[in-house]
Amino acid sequence: MPLWLFVFLAALAVLAALGVVLQRNPVHCLMALVVVLLDLAVMFIGLGAVTVGFLQAIVYVGAIMVLFLFVIWLLNLQTEERRVAGSIGLRFFGAVGAAALVAELCVFVVKAPSTAGLSHVPPTFGSIGAIAEALFTDYLIAFEATSLLLLVAVIGAVALARRATASRTRSPVPVSPAVHEQIGARQ
Amino acid sequence: MMSVPPSWFMALGALLFAIGAAGVLIRRNVIVMLMAIELMLNAVNLTFIALSRSLGSIDGQVIVLFVITVAAAEAATGLAIIIAAFRNRETVNADELNLMRW
Amino acid sequence: MMTAPFPALGLILLLPALGVAFNIFLGPRLGRRAVNFAGPAAIFIAFGVGCWAFATLLAMPPGSALTVTLWPWIEAGSFHVDFALRMDALSAVMTLVVSGVGALIHVYSAGYMAHDEDYARYFAYMNLFTLSMLILVLADNLLLMFVGWEGVGLCSYLLIAFWYTNPEFAYNGRKAFVVNRIGDAGFILGILTLVYVLGAHGAWTLAFTDMRAHRDILAEVWAPFGVPVATVAGLLLFLGATGKSAQIPLYVWLPDAMVGPTPVSALIHAATMVTAGVYMVVRLNFLFILSPTAMELIATVAGVTSFFAATIAIVQPDIKRVLAYSTISQIGYMFLGAGVGAFASGIFHVMTHAFFKALLFLCAGSVIHALDGEQDMNRMGGLWRKLPITYATMLIATLAISAIPGFSGYFSKDLILESAFNSGHFKLWLLGVITADLTSFYMFRLIFMTFHGSSRVDPHRAEHLHESPPVMTIPLFILAVLSIVGGWVNLPKGLLWGDAFVRFLAPVTGTYHPMIEVSGAAISLIALASTLLGILFAWLLYIRQPELPGRISDALAALYRTLLHKYYIDELYNLVVSRPLFWIAGPVLARRVDKGGIDGVVDGSALTVENSGEAVRRVETGNVQHYVLVYLFGVIAIAAYYVYLVIR
Amino acid sequence: METYWLTGLTFLPLLGALLVLTQSDESSTWRAAAAFSLIPLAISIYLLIRFDPHEPGYQFVEQYAWIPQFGISYHLGLDGISLFLVVLTTLLMSLSIIYSGGGDIGYRPREFCFFMLVLETGLLGALLAVDLFMFYVFWEVMLIPMYFLIGIWGHGNKIYAAFKFILFTMLGSILMLVAILYLVHLAHLQSGAISFDLPNLYSVRLTPGEAEWLFAGFAIAFAVKVPMWPIHTWLPDAHTEAPTAGSVILAGVMLKMGTYGFVRFAIPLFPEIAMQATPLFMALAVIGIIYGALVAMVQPDLKRLVAYSSVSHLGFVMLGIFALNPQGVEGAIYQMLNHGLSTGALFLLVGMIYLRRHTREISEFGGLWHRIPIFAAIFMFVMLSSIGLPGLNGFIGEFLIMLGAYLKIPLAVVFAVLGIILGALYMLYAYERVMFGPITKAVNETLADLTWREIGVMVPLIALMLFMGFYPRPLLARMEPSVAAMLDRVQTAQVRLEKPRPAAVAALDPARRTAER
């Protein structure tokens, strides 16, 4: 990946990310997030992860983000009202924490023993075949577990989002009055 | 062509991660908080991909696939919870959804 | 010595057991007639089987025994006890007395309980009692004996509390059981001591014959106490006997037991159950004889109890209470006989006492029955015209208990006093003679107050005063005859068949060896004089000068009240034992220790945890962003550690 | 020889529990639950008949590797110590489920039966497990259903009682778990092989310090369950607040798990320490006997009284166990059965009267005999069994225990007999206030006597009390070989104990004499 492309993509990613965090309208936030995700997809492809990059675009942007959009429209959320006083502390600490994190991570980037460069990889690196081989051999159990996770998530989402109906609560089994009459005190 | 060192990618990842984290903290809207979390996940994904390339190992990419799947699951359940909560409370503000305390 | 298997002994137990089952399960359905037949019949047939066994035994050489092992009972490790019965001379006598007198009382009961709704329960208890007593006397070993021993205590409880709707009766029943249990605790410790010591020598047995064979072990000095084993075991067992046989200090239950139906008093609290202690001591004579200490204690306790109870009896107004204290006093005589080594004389008195005391109680019951439940002698008097049969039979019994020559009591009591004197226990003998005086006094006081003088009967009751039906009077006749002739089995030595009874028992009880030989006639005369003096006093006070007793009691008010209140022993026990016990149990243990102490610690620690949680849970605001913030700082902290590693 | 009897016995109730959940109406629920409690009863009786009375070891053994990496095996076995407790468990479980079907459980019968049957699996599993890990699993499985039984179907302060119950027992079992793991760890170090199997752990060599701590870990877990004084206070609450069936199982079977644990695990695993701790445990047992009886005497609540009487009775059991001779241990096992029968029956009876009057206060009753004679007569019988009247089962156990203890420490028995006197006192005192006297409360005038179902539940118990009182031999004979084998371990340990320290011989004189006999 040429340097200029990286600089451009990086700047765009940071700007869009800030847009996600700072805009008041959720739909605008979402659009900014879409930009970040597509930006990153391009970077993935540039780093040789062609399959993952395309999947990023398809799954994230095509599926997940659309889901977000639906929910925002469903709930009819347009703008977020201004923050009231009292959570200033939260914002302050949030900013400080984020800054501290960035600082720390930068220390790593600077101080960590830098790899000499990118290693040479075969042309098939990152292809569907290569990924599939890893996925269905070494990561088979994780793959199965993930499929189970998705299933559970689907069921959970359905269960959570559907309207609660009255018929689900069962009344306790009543004791027949005859039993009490038979042996209980005849008072 | 490959003139950009991997550490730059990681620095970018760190920056995006921090922005995401800040977003989770300062936004009240739960949906936007969820988006910020997606942002954080992607920052991590970037790091994985960069290291995968740098080490010449496919593992990083596979893990990113898993992360995407988990993110999908998380988004689905998270949004379902938000819908359920909104139905009961008519709000998506995090500081008003605080029934889960002591 | 010869033992023969005799499986029919099991029948003696089986029949009353069947009677119990019949009366419990079928009695209420089949009705009064069936119960009135089945209850006594079970005992009568058992008596018949007993006679058969007795006849078999008589046909065998002296010292023989009939045995049957019904089934092996308890086996654990080397310890082994069989459910086995054994009938030798001693148990044969006891079996016949128990089942014979018991059968008569059962018959009498059919009349006495004619108006009670709970007849089936009554007869079930009576049969159960007879069963327990028969187990007690037929047992081949100490542990099986204990089954009967506790069984009679139980029946005593059940029968005293028979009219349970009266809370006082129920209390008296419980008192009887608990006091008996105190004695039984001693008994069981005695058993354990015997097993401990015998077992240490490899003789894991409780069978009487085996224990007798190993009596050399029992004579050994037991290190922890420095006294022979026999003394320790003997004293513990005697504690059991004081409970069952109502001796000092555990006699308190017996007078209160008189609230049960009168035939019960006759059967349990006079004729049979209370003699169990005497039977036990005689049965274990080989053990007690090894311990002079225990023997001395038994004799002393017996003599003192005998006198002590008699003094209380002379002022009691309740006809049954007089008889109750007289029972305690008479059992004192029996123990005195056993305690001075004349075991056979104790059993002899057990037998004659069973006859005349059962008769006395049944007569008293007849009086009470006639007076519709009245027991206070101050509201009797002049009854002899109305109740001639009762009067006649009761007079015979009174003469017997007062030891008038020719009547059964004379022979047995005389034998005991003679043995006491000849064994050198002069003080106890003197006490016995004085008690004889008191005995005749209170007995004739009873006769005079009840049957003679002017009638003080409640006019309302006097109207339907009647003699009892034949079903009640026939047993009286039979017992009256026995009260006379019952003593003839053992005449003074040299007269006709002489001391046949003592000789018959000798293989079991051993032979009594007097230390000194004083003519029986002389001793007998002194006792007789004392007795006649008592009768004379009674005549003077209650016939000749009926106003005199009142004046005497006024003059000696303090003494009179003390005697009337039975020396305040009940009150003393209550104060010393009962109340502290409940105090410790209630306020101290249940409230302070259990609730306050232990539960306080438990609840306190639980409360500490709860309070800590209460404090800590404030952190949980419920706002997800606060959690995220904490989480973020956690991440920063962990990252900071790696930063430290990197830049170090 | 492959058999699956024990697996069937253990897990059929669990299967039944699942099937009960599928029942739709009340009567079929009870029928299904009763059926699935009767099947294990039938199996246990079959095993009782097939049991070889001369074999000291485990019978009907099933052993498979379960988690071989950690040396955990699926190992079930039945011997003379557990045999009758198993029968007792299945019997009481059947009776309490049948009884509960008669109206005692007013709500959620399906869940009730579910928990009861799960509890049965837990109890049977704990009795049959030979592998320590399995034992621990079943031990914990017992707790949870009981927690719910008390907490959901209990009376009064039920949540408090359920919590107290589970916290006390948990505290003990955690210590036991640590002890088990450490013991297995030592075995692993010494032999190289890892195994949770009980027979393999007998041979672990322990320093005295280790043995003491491990014994303490086991002993506390079991002592809580017994319960020994002074950690008994969960029992009155749990017993009193539990539903009738819960009390029956709790008293009848669960308490025995503690004493059983001593006989099966704590003593054979650490015989030296057990021997040294004998005076301590005997003292605590005697305190428990007297203390339980005294406190029972002043209880105003009938069920609480029975609960405290359990403290007293279990004191006797502990006394017998620590006598460490055949008489004491066999008597203790016998007394466990007796207590299960008589206290179980007492709780049933109290439950029956509670169902009629909705109170257990003694002062609320009086003169009941007049109204409900069958109830009163059965109560009397059971009470007599409970206070150890000779001729009934209680006496055999108490006598053997006292005999065993007397052979060991005579002084302990001198105090223990006080418990017998007090036992008669508190029981008769309560009986007198409930049954005798005039009827003082008008509501008691209309009480109904027992139904046929209730009588039917009591009859087997009464029959067993009589049988065990008059003919204990078949039971004792089956216990004897296993008990002897267990005591063998104790004796060899004693020899080890005495060799290095001749001075100790004199101190242990009576015990050694016992061993020689």
What is the per-residue pLDDT across D488-516, written as a single tens digit (0 to 9) for each? 888 887 766 655 544 444 444 444 444 44
A47/B49 Cβ within 8 A: yes
**DSSP code string of C443-497:** HHHHHHHHHSSS----HHHHTT--PPPHHHHHHHHHHHHHHHHGGGGSPSTTSTT
How many whole angstroms separate alpha carbon C437 and alpha carbon D34?
Answer: 72
Mean predicted confidence (pLDDT) in D67-88:
88
Q: Are C234 and C244 contacting, i.e. CB atoms less than 8 angstroms apart?
A: no
Choose between A181 and C135: higher pLDDT: C135
| Burial tier of B97 (Cβ tally within 10 Å: 0-12, 13-18, 19+) | buried
What is the per-residue pLDDT across D109-134, written as a single tens digit (0 to 9) for each? 888 889 999 999 999 999 999 888 99
Cis status of the peptide bond prior to C249, with omega within 30 of 0 = yes
Residue in A closest to B89 by C-alpha: A75
How many whole angstroms separate alpha carbon C399 and alpha carbon C419?
Answer: 22
**Chain B residues whose beta carbon lies within 8 Å of the beta carbon of residue C617:** 102
The widest CA-to-CA distance across chain C, in whole angstroms, is 128
Contacts by A168-176 with C-beta closer than 8 Å and gap 24+?
Answer: A172/D107, A172/D108, A173/D25, A173/D26, A173/D107, A173/D108, A173/D109, A173/D110, A174/D107, A175/D26, A175/D103, A175/D106, A175/D107, A176/D26
Q: Are C567 and C309 contacting, i.e. CB atoms less than 8 angstroms apart?
A: no
Q: Which of B6, B22, B66 sits opposite A118 (nearest CB)?
A: B6
Mean predicted confidence (pLDDT) in D101-113:
83
Cis status of the peptide bond prior to D227, with omega within 30 of 0 = yes
Mean predicted confidence (pLDDT) in C98-125:
87
Is B82 in the C-facing interface, judged by CB distances under 8 Å?
no
Single-letter amino acid, residue C465 = L
Q: Which of residues 79-138 of A touch B (CB under 8 A)?
A: 80, 83, 87, 90-91, 93-95, 97-99, 101-102, 105-106, 108-110, 112, 114-115, 117-121, 125-126, 130-131, 134-135, 138
Q: What pLDDT does A80 receive?
A: 56
How many whole angstroms separate alpha carbon C510 and alpha carbon C57?
Answer: 18
* Per-domain boundaries in chain B: 7-92
Q: Which of residues 48-87 of B touch A (CB under 8 A)?
A: 49-50, 52-56, 58-59, 61-62, 64-66, 68-77, 79-84, 86-87
Q: What pLDDT does A101 receive?
A: 83
Is A1 in the B-facing interface, judged by CB distances under 8 Å?
yes
Residue C29 confidence class, pLDDT cut points 50, 70, 90: confident
Judged by average pLDDT, the poorest of C137-146, C196-205, C550-559 is C550-559
Q: Of the spans A81-90, C489-498, D360-369, D473-482, which averages the highest pLDDT?
A: D473-482
Is C646 in the A-facing interface, judged by CB distances under 8 Å?
yes
Mean predicted confidence (pLDDT) in C104-117:
86
Q: Which of A98, A101, A112 sits opposite C646 (nearest CB)?
A: A112
How many whole angstroms separate alpha carbon A19 and alpha carbon A31?
Answer: 9
Q: Which of A149, C530, C329, D400 is nearest to B68 (CA)?
A: A149
B99/C625 Cβ within 8 A: no
Mean predicted confidence (pLDDT) in B31-49:
90
Q: What pLDDT does A79 receive?
A: 61
Is A10 in the B-facing interface, judged by CB distances under 8 Å?
yes
What is the per-residue pLDDT across C239-280, written as a single tens digit (0 to 9) for each? 989 988 888 888 888 888 888 888 888 888 777 888 888 999
Helix (H, G, I), strand (E, B) or coil at A84: coil
Q: How many CB atoms lie within 10 A of CB C426?
A: 10
Residue A87 confidence class, pLDDT cut points 50, 70, 90: low
C492 has pLDDT over 80: no
Q: Which of A125, A110, A55, A5 is nearest to B54 (CA)?
A: A125
In chain D, % helix, strand, coil (3-state, to 5) comes to 80, 5, 15
Vertex B49, ends B43 and B51: CA angle to 5°?
Answer: 105
| Burial tier of C21 (Cβ tally within 10 Å: 0-12, 13-18, 19+) | middle
Residue D92 confidence class, pLDDT cut points 50, 70, 90: very high
C639/A101 Cβ within 8 A: yes
C23 has pLDDT over 60: yes
Is D155 in the A-facing interface, judged by CB distances under 8 Å?
no
Is the ipTM above a cut-off of 0.90?
no
Is C516 in the A-facing interface, judged by CB distances under 8 Å?
no
A179 has pLDDT over 50: no
Q: What pLDDT does A34 receive?
A: 92
Q: Are C50 and C99 contacting, i.e. CB atoms less than 8 angstroms apart?
A: yes
C161 has pLDDT over 60: yes
Q: Which of D369, D400, D418 sits opposite C76 (nearest CB)?
A: D400
What is the per-residue pLDDT across C35-76, written as a single tens digit (0 to 9) for each? 888 888 999 999 999 999 999 888 888 888 888 888 888 888
Judged by average pLDDT, the poorest of A51-60, A84-93, C225-234, C635-644 is A84-93
Q: What pLDDT does B3 receive?
A: 62
B25/A93 Cβ within 8 A: yes
Q: Which of B4, B12, B25 sits opposite A1 (nearest CB)?
A: B4
Q: Are C49 and C12 contacting, i.e. CB atoms less than 8 angstroms apart?
A: yes
Backbone angles phi, psi at B93, to 5 degrees: -85, 130
Structure token digits, residue D155: 């009376």
Residue in A closest to C640 by C-alpha: A104
Chains D and B touch (3+ CB pairs under 8 A): no
Q: What pLDDT does A71 receive?
A: 86
What percentage of chain B reaches a pLDDT higher than 90? 20
Q: How many CB atoms lie within 10 A of CB A129?
A: 10
C625/A107 Cβ within 8 A: no
Is D473 in the C-facing interface, judged by CB distances under 8 Å?
yes
Choose between D257 and C568: higher pLDDT: D257
Q: Are D113 and D20 contacting, i.e. CB atoms less than 8 angstroms apart?
A: yes
Mean predicted confidence (pLDDT) in C112-135:
88
Q: Which of D164, D294, D417 sits opposite C585 (nearest CB)?
A: D294
Level-2 CATH architecture, domain B7-92 = Orthogonal Bundle (1.10)
Mean predicted confidence (pLDDT) in C530-551:
82
What is the per-residue pLDDT across D220-236, written as a single tens digit (0 to 9) for each? 999 988 888 888 888 88
Q: What pLDDT does D24 receive?
A: 80
Q: Are D15 and D112 contacting, i.e. CB atoms less than 8 angstroms apart?
A: no
Residue A165 confidence class, pLDDT cut points 50, 70, 90: low
How many whole angstroms separate alpha carbon C486 and alpha carbon C354?
Answer: 10
Residue in A closest to C627 by C-alpha: A90
Q: How many CB atoms lie within 10 A of CB D455?
A: 14
How many whole angstroms separate alpha carbon C221 and alpha carbon C224?
Answer: 9
What is the per-residue pLDDT across D307-329, written as a single tens digit (0 to 9) for each? 999 999 999 999 999 988 888 99
C422 has pLDDT over 50: yes
How many whole angstroms separate alpha carbon C401 and alpha carbon C409?
Answer: 5
Residue A112 confidence class, pLDDT cut points 50, 70, 90: low
Length of chain A (residues): 187
Q: What pLDDT does A175 receive?
A: 45
Say which residue the tokens 């006594």 belong to: C40
Q: What pLDDT does D501 receive?
A: 46
Q: How many CB atoms lie within 10 A of CB D136?
A: 19
How many whole angstroms separate alpha carbon D85 and alpha carbon C593?
Answer: 33
Helix (H) / strand (E) containing B87: helix B59-89
How many whole angstroms separate alpha carbon C276 and alpha carbon C293?
Answer: 21
Residue in B closest to C618 by C-alpha: B102
Helix axes C388-401, C408-422, angle to 10 degrees: 20
Q: What pLDDT does C215 receive?
A: 83
Say which residue the tokens 């909560």 belong to: B85
Distances (CA, A) of B48 to B67, D350, D463: 10, 70, 76
Mean predicted confidence (pLDDT) in D206-218:
86
**Chain C residues whose beta carbon lies within 8 Å of the beta carbon of residue B94:** 623-625
Helix (H) / strand (E) containing C629: helix C624-647
Vertex C188, ends C184 and C193: CA angle to 5°?
Answer: 145
Judged by average pLDDT, the poorest of A75-79, D46-50, D149-153, D302-306 is A75-79
CA distance D454 to chain A (A): 10
Q: Which of A49, A135, A154 sits opposite B52 (nearest CB)?
A: A49
Between strands C227-228 and C3-5, the pairing is unpaired
D355/A184 Cβ within 8 A: yes
Is D434 in the C-facing interface, judged by CB distances under 8 Å?
no
* pLDDT, mean over chain C: 85
Q: Are C67 and C140 contacting, i.e. CB atoms less than 8 angstroms apart?
A: yes
A186 has pLDDT over 60: no
What percentage of chain C reaches a pLDDT higher than 70? 100
Q: What pLDDT does C7 receive?
A: 86
Compute and round to an integer the Cα radius of gyration of chain D: 22
Q: What pLDDT does D502 receive?
A: 44
Mean predicted confidence (pLDDT) in A33-55:
90
Structure token digits, residue C442: 């209170």
Q: What pLDDT does D319 receive?
A: 92
